[in-house]
Amino acid sequence: MAEPVCHLPGGWSMLDAAPAYSAFAGILGGFVFLSIITLLSEKSHATSNGTRPADLPNRRYNAARSRHNGARIADAHTTARARTVMLFLPAFLGLLVSSFLFGEVSGEQICARGYIEGVLSASLLGVGALGVFSGIAWMLEAYGESSRSLRRTCMTFIFLTYFIIVALLGVSGIDILDNAFHNDPPTYALVLMIAYGPGMLGLVGCVRKWLMPKEAKRSSAQLAAVYAPAAYVVLTSVIYSILTSYQPRYWGSFDDWKVFLALSVAMFFPACIMIIYARALPDMRRTSRSPYPGSRNSKSKNSSAASPWSGLLN
């Protein structure tokens, strides 16, 4: 059996850092839970603001038209709020599982096995963090936030999150390669790890520029952003369970197929989820419209009779 303390060629131990990661993931998950509770406990926008269709600027609506518009406003807002909750749920699940798995890593005594546990947990933490910022963007879209500065700031933080995730995953991969090959990894493997970050950021930019879903496919893109991260949590849990079921005698070094399998999973599937999130993000460049039909804002140039979820890029 390996020594309880890891002395690795890379000079850094994920096992020692795991408790801090576990606490961070748990705290972040708590904020997501608070957001979900807030959305679920809130009444409809029109009712909570005391706004009735008869109070809207255009007072030429007759009573029947006003009742129809009031119902449509409440239904649209309720639908947007429900979908926003759906989009927060996989992030919450991923952060909880990541926190638990990092707790498992902190008690690990086998270096190689602890590292594959850590890299899988780190990938879940990255996907969950990206889901948090993406969920904030969806909340701004659902509630018709009109501040362009706030929307641009939100989008900036989302892409900063992309950069941080790919950078940290790449650094973790390089660290595993250094430990596997005693600080002398193959050139091709090192090049792949270094190119991972710029390649992913460039791919996300291309997706946002040219591969955004059409109007009819936007709901499908949003649902993919709900179920893909949840499916990855399940997949990671299964792979984690299978690989950690191997006895200590099968974990002699980092130069092992189990380590490279976990590293491949932790880098490939989060990359796919980043692309899915990028396709589902709303367009933060436009000015949001008022959610009330008949108001002056609703007749602006960029406004149309569409749902609050119709602001995604084409």
pLDDT in tens, 54-105: 444 444 444 445 555 555 555 555 666 777 888 899 999 999 999 999 999 9
Looking at the DSSP assignment, which residues form a beta bridge with residue 282? 312
Which residue, 12, 220, 35, 1, is CA-closest to 108? 1
For the beta carbon of residue 57, count every other beta carbon within 10 angstroms: 12
Q: What is the pLDDT of residues 122-150, one digit of tens each?
A: 999 999 999 998 888 888 877 766 678 88
Q: How is residue 28 written in tokens?
A: 């972040």
**pLDDT for position 66:** 52
What is the pLDDT, as a whole number, of residue 207?
92
Q: Are 153 and 120 in contact (CB under 8 A)?
A: no
Q: Which of 131, 59, 63 is nearest to 296 (CA)?
A: 59
Q: Which of 232, 224, 227, 229 is nearest to 279 (CA)?
A: 224
Count of alpha carbons within 13 angstroms of residue 136, beta-carbon side: 18
Least Cα distance to 314 among 250, 232, 234, 221 occurs for 221
The residue type of 209 is: K
Cβ-in-10-Å burial (0-12, 13-18, 19+) of 215 comes to exposed
Query: What secondary structure does DSSP assign to 191-223, as a single string?
Result: HHHHHHHHHHHHHHHHHHHH-PPPGGGHHHHHH
Say how far apart CA 172 and CA 114 lie, in whole Å: 13
Six token digits for residue 76:
């649209």
| Residues whose CB is less than 8 angstroms from the CB of residue 298 and which lie 6 or more positions away in sequence, other chains included | 289, 290, 291, 292
Residue 61 has a pLDDT of: 45
Residue type, 166: V
pLDDT at res. 109:
86
Q: What residues of the chain score a pLDDT lower than 70?
A: 1-5, 7, 10, 42-80, 144-146, 283-314
What pLDDT, on a 0 to 100 scale, did the predictor assign at position 214? 84
CA–CA gap between residue 284 and residue 263 (Å, rounded) = 34
- Report the pLDDT value the prediction gives residue 179, as an integer from 0 to 100: 86
